[in-house]
């Protein structure tokens, strides 16, 4: 083949490949589910941990909720389990919590009597394992026998690290010493040497990392590598509310999706607001740059991730092995909306 012909061949092939890549990227990022609202105005209560510092909520409250006819009252929850309690006890219509909290709480509900169902994932996790840099702890296996500080012994932070310990063939209950410490004392306990490491999540984790700068290092987190592709925070809705108002789910998804879409343009403004709070977050833009951008995950994609988390919870004895993970995911998640005709 002449050189000029070969050059044209390769240039043409490259152009075709580039066009195919662009189209693939477009398809991957295009919402696969067509959603419409019925135009109704709705009031609802959402229990939301860290509600004053959650970027997605800040964006949604800036106008997206109202754009889709939602009059939302936010109930600040101390943690994910407290948010779930608000739904199961009738004090809220929906709740935001980590999947590591949702799945164990919903697993034992009788079939057909789930107090809530999972509607959509909101963003990835911000778990951090902060380790004393002056100790010979360089990998997860070096944590054997060490004192690990958490502010809840039954919380998602402990489950996050417990899963990683089990993957290194360590017993997550007996291989390390878990030490429960109030949130406002975690940094002092670390600096005083009462614990060798801490498992926390942002914004508290970010604050502690900054306050212990020089003595701590972020040995493991959920914001790097394959962990970035996972969802953590998930919105669940009371089953009775879903049954009584089928139009609520698409309105919520559309509002949250619109808020997430505005994230790149509004990141500086969110950072400014976090810096001007009564108890400001130090260098909030750096924290936001590190964390995973809000993104809405629903339908089959959410079910796959719920099944994956269920498998991990089995590793640490938080789920019975006989439960079929994907079958449970189908039970817990709201069925996906019908795809649009051109969505393939």
Tell me the mean pLDDT per 10 residues along the chain, length 344.
Answer: 38 36 34 70 97 96 95 97 96 98 89 90 96 96 97 96 96 97 97 97 96 95 91 97 95 96 96 95 96 95 97 95 94 75 39
pLDDT of residue 203: 96
Backbone φ and ψ for 291, nearest 5 degrees, come out as -75, 170
C-alpha to C-alpha distance for 82 and 46, rounded to whole angstroms: 12
- Residue 21 has what DSSP assignment? H
pLDDT of residue 158: 97
- Residue 158 has what DSSP assignment? H
pLDDT of residue 113: 85
Contacts of 174 (CB under 8 A, 6+ apart): none
Structure tokens at 163: 């899963």
Contacts of 110 (CB under 8 A, 6+ apart): none
pLDDT of residue 338: 58
pLDDT of residue 226: 85
C-alpha to C-alpha distance for 190 and 237, rounded to whole angstroms: 38
Strand 94-98 with 127-132, pairing: unpaired
Report angle CA 199, 117, 125 to the nearest 5 degrees.
25
C-alpha to C-alpha distance for 232 and 219, rounded to whole angstroms: 20
C-alpha to C-alpha distance for 250 and 163, rounded to whole angstroms: 34
pLDDT of residue 111: 65
- Rg of the chain, C-alpha, whole Å: 22
Q: Among all chains, which residue has been given the structure tokens 């009597």?
A: 113
CB 196 within 8 A of CB 148: yes
pLDDT of residue 34: 65
pLDDT of residue 341: 43
CB 328 within 8 A of CB 260: no
Three-state SS for 259?
helix
């Amino acid at each position: 083949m002449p050189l000029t012909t070969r050059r044209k061949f390769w240039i043409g092939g490259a152009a075709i490949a580039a066009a195919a890549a662009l189209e693939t990227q477009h398809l991957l990022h295009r919402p696969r589910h067509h959603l419409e609202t019925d135009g109704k105005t709705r009031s609802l209560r959402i229990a939301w941990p860290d509600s004053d510092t959650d970027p997605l909520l800040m964006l949604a409250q800036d106008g997206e909720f109202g754009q889709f006819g939602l009059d939302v009252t936010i109930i600040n929850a101390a943690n994910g389990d407290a948010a779930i309690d608000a739904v199961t006890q009738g004090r809220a219509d929906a709740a935001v919590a980590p999947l590591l909290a949702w799945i164990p709480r919903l697993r034992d509900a009788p079939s057909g009597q789930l107090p809530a169902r999972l509607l959509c994932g909101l963003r990835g996790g911000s778990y951090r394992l902060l380790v004393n840099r002056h100790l010979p702890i360089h990998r997860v296996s070096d944590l054997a026998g060490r004192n690990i500080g958490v502010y809840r012994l039954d919380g998602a932070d402990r489950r996050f690290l417990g899963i990683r310990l089990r993957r290194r063939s360590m017993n997550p209950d007996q291989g390390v010493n878990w030490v429960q410490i109030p949130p406002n004392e975690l940094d002092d306990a670390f600096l005083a040497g009462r614990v060798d490491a801490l498992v926390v999540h942002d914004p508290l984790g970010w604050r502690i990392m900054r306050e212990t700068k020089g003595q701590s290092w972020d040995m493991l987190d959920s914001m790097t590598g394959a962990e970035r592709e996972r969802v953590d925070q998930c919105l669940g809705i009371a089953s009775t509310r879903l049954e009584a108002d089928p139009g609520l789910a698409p309105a919520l998804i559309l509002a949250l999706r619109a808020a997430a879409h505005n994230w790149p343009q509004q990141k500086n403004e969110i950072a400014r607001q976090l810096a001007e709070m009564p108890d400001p977050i130090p260098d909030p833009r750096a924290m936001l740059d590190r964390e995973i951008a809000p993104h809405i995950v629903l339908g089959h994609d959410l079910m796959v991730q719920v099944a994956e988390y269920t498998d991990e919870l089995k590793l640490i004895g938080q789920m019975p092995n006989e439960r079929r993970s994907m079958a449970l995911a189908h039970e817990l998640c709201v069925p996906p909306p019908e795809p649009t005709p051109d969505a393939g």
